[in-house]
Amino acid sequence: MKSLGLGILGSGRGSNCRAILEAIRAGTLPARACVVISDVIDAPILDIAREFSVPNAYLPPGQFRTRLEPNVESELVRMLRDAGVDLVVLAGFMRVLKAPMLEAFPRRIINIHPSLLPKFQGLQAWKQALAAGETVTGCTVHYVDDKIDHGDIIAQRQVPILPNDSAETLHARVQIAEHELYPAVIAQLCAKTS
């Protein structure tokens, strides 16, 4: 089985990054973490990368709030290629990727989202599911395209919404499902490319 080189992008706490790195360390995910990159200089995901001795970098995002400036996105492509990345893994990366990345890594960029897409795209999807009176939510791993939380679905995991759930308790259970599903999906992608 080929060991895929992963480039992990994140903007925040990095809990999915930790789950992936722990699976690699445990030998259940036959991949290599080549680099972790964040658009937030003090993001905890960079501390997690250092804890696991994974090369990491801060990428100054530029002036836009929801996307990277074109020259910055081209620099991101260069950084990922220089690190030997085969698969780009978004782990809480809060920017929409555009042509430079999508053309450089066609169908090789994946994301995890805390809902059963296509329902509840965007921020805090678990809160959206609660507010809508849903009885089930979950998480989705999908290929990334140029739209928000869109693209071909690879896998989903359901999480029941309990009668006494708060946003916090539901989010905690969705994250448990994410931490199981994301490394498993990456392992499946490794098996397909071997």
- Residue 82 is which amino acid? D
DSSP assignment, residue 67? B
**What residues act catalytically?**
113
Could you write out the DSSP letters of every residue in 82-146?
A: HTT-SEEEESS--SB--HHHHHHSTT-EEEEESSSTTSS-SS-HHHHHHHTT-SEEEEEEEE--S
Distances (CA, A) of 46 to 18, 25, 41, 65, 94: 10, 17, 8, 20, 15
Distances (CA, A) of 183 to 24, 43, 145: 9, 21, 21
Specify whether the CB–CB gap between 6 and 33 falls below 8 A: yes
- Residue 191 is which amino acid? A
